[in-house]
Structure 1
Amino acid sequence: MHNALNRVQTTFGFFTTCAFTLASLIALLSLIPIPAPTESPSASISVRNVQVVKGRPHYYATKREEYAQIKFDLEADLSSLFTWNTKQLFVYVTANYPSDKTSEVRNSEAVIWDAIIPATSTPYSWQNLKQKYFPEKKSRTKSRKGSDAKSKTTDLVKPGLISLKNQKPKYQITDPTGVLSERGNATLEVRWNIQPWVGALVWDKGSLGGRVGQWGAGKVGRSQVFTFPPLKGKTETVKEKDGPQTPKVGSASPVVEI
Structure 2
Amino acid sequence: MHSASYRTNAILTMAFSGLVALCVAVSLTEVFHRSSPEASLKLHHVHYFRPSLVNNDEAVLSFNMKSDLSSCFSWNTKQLFAYIKVVYETDKHVRNEVTVWDKVIKTTEDHKVVDEVFLSKYKLVDNGAGLRGRDVNVTLAWNVMPYIGALYYQEKTFTAKLPSDYLVDS
Note whether the superposition's TM-score is higher than 0.5. Answer: yes
Is the contact made by 1:47 and 1:223 (CA closer than 8 Å) also made in structure 2? Answer: no
Q: CA RMSD in A?
A: 2.6
- In the alignment, structure 1 residue 222 sits paired with structure 2 residue 157: yes
Correspondence for 1:43:
39
Correspondence for 2:21:
21
Alignment partners' CA distance in 2, 1:194 and 1:168: 24
Is the contact made by 1:181 and 1:230 (CA closer than 8 Å) also made in structure 2? Answer: no
Correspondence for 1:113:
101
Alignment partners' CA distance in 2, 1:100 and 1:185: 13
For residue 92 of structure 1, report the CA deviation from its aligned partner.
0.8
Aligned-residue sequence identity (percent) comes to 26
Structure 1 regions of 5+ residues with no counterpart? 57-62, 121-157, 206-220, 236-258
- In the alignment, structure 1 residue 182 sits paired with structure 2 residue 170: no
Q: Which amino acid aligns with 1:225?
A: A
Correspondence for 1:85:
76
Is the contact made by 2:80 and 2:106 (CA closer than 8 Å) also made in structure 1? Answer: yes
- Counterpart of 2:147 (choices 188, 191, 197) is 197
Alignment partners' CA distance in 1, 2:164 and 2:114: 26
Alignment partners' CA distance in 2, 1:228 and 1:201: 37
Give the secondary structure class of the aligned counterpart of 1:43: strand
For residue 64 of structure 1, report the CA deviation from its aligned partner.
5.2
More strand, by proportion: 2
Correspondence for 1:243:
none
Alignment partners' CA distance in 1, 2:127 and 2:16: 49
Cα separation, partners in 2 of 1:71 and 1:79, compared to 1, 3 Å: same
Higher RCO (C-alpha 8 Å, min separation 6): 1
For residue 183 of structure 1, report the CA deviation from its aligned partner.
4.6
For residue 45 of structure 1, report the CA deviation from its aligned partner.
0.7
Alignment partners' CA distance in 2, 1:229 and 1:164: 27
TM-score of the two chains, using structure 1 as the length reference: 0.58
TM-score of the two chains, using structure 2 as the length reference: 0.84
Is the contact made by 1:182 and 1:228 (CA closer than 8 Å) also made in structure 2? Answer: yes
Is the contact made by 1:52 and 1:180 (CA closer than 8 Å) also made in structure 2? Answer: no
Cα separation, partners in 2 of 1:6 and 1:184, compared to 1, 3 Å: same
Alignment partners' CA distance in 2, 1:23 and 1:29: 10
- Counterpart of 1:168 (choices 108, 119, 124) is 119
Q: Which amino acid aligns with 1:30?
A: E
Q: Deviations over 1:192-235 (max 9, x none)?
A: 11111111111116xxxxxxxxxxxxxxx433330244333589
Give the secondary structure class of the aligned counterpart of 1:225: strand
Is the contact made by 2:43 and 2:160 (CA closer than 8 Å) also made in structure 1? Answer: no
Give the secondary structure class of the aligned counterpart of 2:150: coil
Cα separation, partners in 2 of 1:9 and 1:100, compared to 1, 3 Å: same
How many residue pairs get aligned? The number is 169
Is the contact made by 2:87 and 2:139 (CA closer than 8 Å) also made in structure 1? Answer: yes
Is the contact made by 1:186 and 1:227 (CA closer than 8 Å) also made in structure 2? Answer: yes
Is the contact made by 2:101 and 2:121 (CA closer than 8 Å) also made in structure 1? Answer: yes
Is the contact made by 1:68 and 1:180 (CA closer than 8 Å) also made in structure 2? Answer: no
